[in-house]
Structure 1
């Protein structure tokens, strides 16, 4: 696509950022794209061609795009035409995720590059992630990989077209995010991010972001809203409604005949929109740039400098800083002394923090329910809703 070249030039320059667009037309849902092949990729690591053919009893191997070292390979072409490489000597698979994302290391004559690819997603998915990375980089609070190029992958067999993103390569320490010194530095950097003011001209006191994006496979509507309760009420309503909808990667997590989440969700959304749980902080909430998907697996430490944390795979937006902490609690791994105490020394718990924590935890558990349909998570959501309604 022609737009990818322009995207590469914008993202390769530190601090560049698209202007706010306050003229977005109203819509029931933002325009997102998820390829039909997501269902085939979700839930398991990709099989090699022989295993895949045997698994489905097919006579022919499964055809899908695979990176190569050929000069006309789209990834190789981007490394040579955009990133300054002359030769690409190796392409090594580093990771393969349930949602179809794969990570490769490209070795070239000018150094290593990190490649993310998905054989079914459109380029807009990685473009929106790149915008978030550039926004985080501008704050100079937490190091992030720099996006260099976003490009399209061809359709091969039943897969595609897809997309890829080239980023600077970070040599990570194994389990670096679990190190006490890294957790202290991460907490300090996160507090600095949440109190950063470098994007004030962009958000103008509003909540949202310049582009819609995804929280894993869940689309996020980031259209600007003047107040936080209204913005979060929209987010919460989307998660509640989502559990009753068919997904491109699977069936609805909850049948429409089970209306417990819907009924409780409607009550909670109305209360949130009216400002319940935000009375004590209504005048104090300011838009903070949030990573948006911060858990222990999206943080690390750079080799050779173990005290310097890095974060990646964001789903950025401007929101209430307390909302950022829900995923940290959900997946754990953050130490009370080295992370939580350090963070809250810089960003103290405001009045009503514990009650709002339940609200933000509910949002993240609803997202887990939307992604995986786990009955145990559904029960957790129902219990949290009951507690919040009882306290209201």
Structure 2
């Protein structure tokens, strides 16, 4: 098999006898994607020639966590490994996409059902550090949401910006804002929900039945409305939010704060 760990896994563990062809699905800004066709169906494979398997391992754990809820369609991950020439790969279930991004009303409802059902008794965070895009995401388990959000989301992103641009004035102003977000959450009832973590239009599709599919996650357990920062940037419409809030009511304590604090920091 020419020292090809992808083909080796498919032929030995994928319950197939023959790979009948491969085709490129596209090259994104981070990873390349291929479809491996076999006599027993297709596999979806992503590769990265520069980043080790830790990135895909985090993605696989997130996909599996969402898949196990049985509440929203996500591709099941099968295998993560290293490429012999450097870099890494992930093999997962191939889902044939439909022609549209899916029904936004159905997506809002299914996402809310996942948030409502999938909780954590470990607090806010995730089982491993993962990435949002190629940017590291810190997921150290934390008992308090405000502490987690301040330190591992806003604070960490602020540190990255400061390292890149070195603007101490901006750093100081943003740090002051972070230190004063507590009143915005006063009276809020917050539970650690399983979040996709990178929910924008490029990570949403539909299957051939028109049901929504979500992929390429940056999962962690957090305040459910933190999911909306990315989705608002992606142009989700009223149908999405109306259906979502029928299942997961808005947190009125946060609305009284007079601002939207749910945006992610990506």
1:170 and 1:268 mapped to 2: Cα distance?
Answer: 43
Whether the 8 Å CA contact 1:142–1:190 is kept in 2: the answer is yes
Q: Which of these residues, 162, 170, 183, is aligned with residue 87 of structure 2?
A: 162
What does residue 193 of structure 1 align with? 114
1:80 and 1:205 mapped to 2: Cα distance?
Answer: 38
Larger Rg: 1
Q: Which of these residues, 159, 171, 175, is aligned with residue 262 of structure 1?
A: 171
1:321 and 1:219 mapped to 2: Cα distance?
Answer: 21
2:41 and 2:202 mapped to 1: Cα distance?
Answer: 25
Deviations 1:67-86 (A, max 9, x none): xxx55422111111121222
Deviations 1:50-73 (A, max 9, x none): xxxxxxxxxxxxxxxxxxxx5542
TM-score (norm 1): 0.64
SS across alignment from 2:124: coil
TM-score (norm 2): 0.94
Deviations 1:183-208 (A, max 9, x none): 111111011011114x5xxx315111
Whether the 8 Å CA contact 2:76–2:92 is kept in 1: the answer is yes
1:299 and 1:354 mapped to 2: Cα distance?
Answer: 31
1:112: how far off? Answer: 0.5
1:357: how far off? Answer: 5.9
**CA separation of 1:288 and 1:122: change in aligned 2, threshold 3 A:** same
Whether the 8 Å CA contact 1:322–1:357 is kept in 2: the answer is no
Whether the 8 Å CA contact 1:82–1:149 is kept in 2: the answer is no
Contiguous gaps of at least 5 residues in structure 1: 1-69, 156-160, 246-251, 368-392
Whether the 8 Å CA contact 1:205–1:286 is kept in 2: the answer is no
**CA separation of 1:108 and 1:84: change in aligned 2, threshold 3 A:** same
User: Is 1:94 paired with 2:1?
Assistant: no
**CA separation of 1:195 and 1:82: change in aligned 2, threshold 3 A:** same
What does residue 107 of structure 1 align with? 37
User: Is 1:301 paired with 2:231?
Assistant: no
**CA separation of 1:343 and 1:322: change in aligned 2, threshold 3 A:** same
- Structure showing the higher strand proportion among its residues: 2
1:67-146 aligned within 5 A: 70=1, 72-99=3-30, 101-146=31-76
Q: Which of these residues, 177, 195, 213, is aligned with residue 290 of structure 1?
A: 195
Deviations 1:221-251 (A, max 9, x none): 1111111000001121101111122xxxxxx
1:315-326 aligned within 5 A: 315-326=218-229
Could you say what the CA RMSD is over the residues aligned between the two structures, in angstroms?
1.7
1:259: how far off? Answer: 2.8
